[in-house]
Structure formats: structure tokens, C-alpha cells
Copies of this chain bind each other. A is one copy, B any other.
């Protein structure tokens, strides 16, 4: 039905009306004092979200642009890095590093399983000559709905003494606790269409002092993604290139809403929704794709047995105007993914479970008693935190 679509994909995520109204204002000059005030405010808001005292720089581009910027500003040609890979995005960062002739050792886990922190510990401890310059980790692997143990891996990286840790927090920031300074994360990249509750088009990258030291030595060619002019202009609340001014309006507005809710409440909401989605799916006999205990707070991937995931996904969209995400690469047709990231309330989760259950029922594919999914989800949603 026209204008009735509900997005339950891991991005773009739903956007509050307040944020859309901010977005749709007339643009202003990006070198004006009025815009500098917005840059100043959003910079502080971003530091709040990242739990950091370091500058969080805003790039007009996708999350990939921010992640590439993080990699190519801190590393140099021939540098050795460890890159975790247990899904599409882990694979992407391997490709980025190789495109710049960085020497990549890939530490893999099966899609659906979490990266093993011990594998990183062993590789880092074995590196007696301190050849490893960085470890690249995808915190929440969007393609599989798996949350990797970034905190533990970061501890091992710091024990190494030389390597920095570069983290793709695109679908974890604003969904679960990612305290940049406390965990000693050296580079964090994220994108606006995720936990930020705003449309795509802005991405964010923050560097620690250690990372800025490496940036001075980095010899990889770049211009639009060279973070040095971003840092210099950020000091004057400005940007090196014309930024997406209207998306800044939306950013300010969205972060105000997030600040009013508070970080702890945001994380609790995402944890509750993740558990409700997983529990609801399992109650209707639909296996969760991520291994036990490592489900992402942002996305639940489901791998139905004997059911074409794409057929189910399309039926839910057609009948109930809820857009679920499909599987990516070799998971296409085998999994569907429920996004519960950003501007999502308990009603949205209950609705998604009910719509999936009703669709399976109507297709004569429901293996459990009708209502078991909604019942299980509602119990979780009503648990005290």
C-alpha cells in the first residue's frame, strides 16, 4: 500500500518524522557561521555517541568510505595487517586492504559464527618482530547477524604493543555499547543510515592518538578520503569539501532524539529486540543463523529449513508492507534478515514476528502452533531489564 512501507532491513533504517522535517529544510551556506554552529554541535553529539574525547570526523559518503578512510590513512604500502573475516563486510575490508597493496593475513570464521579472539591472540603473540601494524575487525557483521567480540580482541591488540585496531562499527554503534576510549579502539567507522536513525549519505570515522601518529607516516595516495584536511577544518567547525548540508540538519536532530533516550536505554532496547526476534523465530521453528550467544543487537538472520527465504520475504512485503532483508552472496535464498536497528520500538518487533508467522501460516509452512512466535516474543518484550 502506498506510503505504508516499514523498513526492517539493516539500513536504510526507519527515520523519525522530526528528522525528516529537519532534512527537508532549505540548505544554508556550508561556510556560514550558522552551519559552523551545527558542525560544532554535531561534533559534540558524535563524541557522546562514540564515548570518546577524540574528534569524530564526518564524510559525505557511505560507511565503506569511512572504513576505507580509516584504513588508508593509518597504513602504508606493504604494512602487515590481520583482518577478521566471517561475512560479507569482513571480506570487503580484505579487498580494500589488498587494493592498496597492504599485506593481509585473513583470520576466518564460518559465516554465522563469531571470530575466535584466541586466533588473534595467537597470531599477535607469535609476531615477535612486531610486523603487524593493524588488526581490522567488523564488530557487527551485517550479512550474518553476528556480533564479534571486539572488546577482547582489542585487549589482545593492545598487549601486542605496536598494532592498532580498526573497527567497522557500522551496525553496532548506537545499537550496543562501543566505548571507543575505554576499549582503546584506534579507528571506528560508521554510517548514518544505521543506528543513527537517519537516511544514508553521511559516514563517520574517529581516530585515536596512536592512529593519528600513524596517519602522519601513511604513504597511501588519497585526496577526498585524506583525513588530514578533515581534521584541520574540523578544528574550525568546517569541512574540506562541500558536505551534505541537509543530512547534517538530520544528524543534529537524530542525535538529539538519541541523547534524550540515553545510551543505556538505547542499548537495552536493542538487546531486548534482538532477544525477542531470536526467541520468536525459534518458537515458530525457524533457526537463527548466528551461532548461540553471538547474535547482533542490530540484525537477526534466520535460516528456514525447507523454505525459500526469498519467497517468504517477498510474501511478507506484499501482504504486510514490511521489508525484510535477503541473504547476501551465497546466502541468497537461504536466509532472510530482520533489521531491528535504530528507530524501532517494541511494537515493530511484535508486528514483524506476527507478520512472518501469519505469512508462514497462510503459505501452509508454519511448523509450530499458530501464535507461538508472537507469544514467545511478547514474553521477552515484557521482561524487566
Stretch in contact with the other chain, from A147-155, A218-226, A282-290:
A218-226
Q: Scoring A residues 208 to 241 as 1 if CB is less than 8 Å from chain B, else 0, what string do you get?
A: 0000000000001111111000000000000001
From A12, A225, A243, residue with most partner B Cβ within 10 Å: A12
A341 within 8 A of B: no
Given A5-B26, A23-B246: A224 touches B60 (CB 8 Å cut-off) = no
From A31, A68, A222, A242, residue with most partner B Cβ within 10 Å: A242
Q: Scoring A residues 13 to 28 as 1 if CB is less than 8 Å from chain B, else 0, what string do you get?
A: 0110000110111111
Given A61-B224, A247-B201: A26 touches B14 (CB 8 Å cut-off) = yes
Q: In the assembly, what is the distance between CA of A24 and CA of B19, in Å?
A: 9
* Residues of A in contact with B, size category: 35 or more
Q: Do the beta carbons of B26 and A244 come within 8 Å of each other?
A: no
Within A23-55, which residues are at the interface with B (CB < 8 Å)? 23-32
Q: Do the beta carbons of B23 and A221 come within 8 Å of each other?
A: no
Q: Do the beta carbons of B200 and A245 come within 8 Å of each other?
A: yes
Stretch in contact with the other chain, from A94-102, A124-132, A264-272, A348-356:
A94-102
Given A5-B26, A61-B65, A65-B241: A223 touches B96 (CB 8 Å cut-off) = yes
A280 within 8 A of B: no
A338 partner residues in chain B, CB cutoff 8 A: none
How many chain copies?
Answer: 2
Interface of A is mostly: loop
A63 partner residues in chain B, CB cutoff 8 A: 241-242
Q: In the assembly, what is the distance between CA of A325 and CA of B3, in Å?
A: 40
A84 within 8 A of B: no
Q: In the assembly, what is the distance between CA of A65 and CA of B323, in Å?
A: 32
> Distance in Å from the Cβ of A272 to the closest Cβ of chain B?
24
Q: In the assembly, what is the distance between CA of A226 and CA of B245, in Å?
A: 25
A221 partner residues in chain B, CB cutoff 8 A: 99-101, 220-221
Q: Do the beta carbons of A64 and B23 come within 8 Å of each other?
A: no
Of B25, B60, B223, the residue contacting A99 (CB under 8 A) is: B223
> Distance in Å from the Cβ of A292 to the closest Cβ of chain B?
29
Q: In the assembly, what is the distance between CA of A7 and CA of B223, in Å?
A: 28
Q: A61-B224, A64-B224, A244-B244 are in contact. List 7 more A-B contacts (CB 8 A).
A: A7-B27, A12-B28, A20-B25, A63-B241, A100-B223, A193-B245, A199-B246
Report, nearest first, the 4 A-B pairs whose CB atoms are least far apart.
A24-B24, A201-B244, A62-B241, A12-B27
Taking Cβ atoms with an 8 Å cutoff, the residues of A that contact B are 3, 5, 7, 9, 11-12, 14-15, 20-21, 23-32, 60-65, 68, 95-96, 99-101, 191, 193, 199-201, 220-226, 241-247, 323, 325-326
